[in-house]
Amino acid sequence: MPHCENCGSFVTAEYVRVFAPEELDRPRVCPNCDDKVRDGADVREARATRHS
């Protein structure tokens, strides 16, 4: 089962296939991450928290 490198949350294999770079088997961030977000091909610090 794949997990997010940043927060450790479970992600589906389909999510990894779409959002992780081809050379990685885990995404660098996921929708559950409060502190980082995807920004195109990069990852950046979140400007605001996304969860309440």
List per-residue pLDDT tens for the chain, 52 residues long. 899 999 999 999 999 999 888 888 889 899 889 888 888 888 888 887 665 5
Which pLDDT belongs to residue 51? 58
Residue-number span of the structural domain to which 44 is assigned: 1-52
Q: Give the bridge partners for 38, in sequence order.
A: 43
Q: How far is CA 24 from CA 7, 8, 18, 20, in A?
A: 16, 15, 11, 6
Please state, in angstroms and rounded to a whole number, the distance separating the CA atoms of residues 46 and 12: 22
Core vs surface per residue 1-38: b (16+ CB within 10 A) or e: ebebbbeeeebeeeebeebbeeeeeebbbbeebeebbe
pTM of the model: 0.73
User: Considering its fold, how many domains does the chain have in total?
Assistant: 1
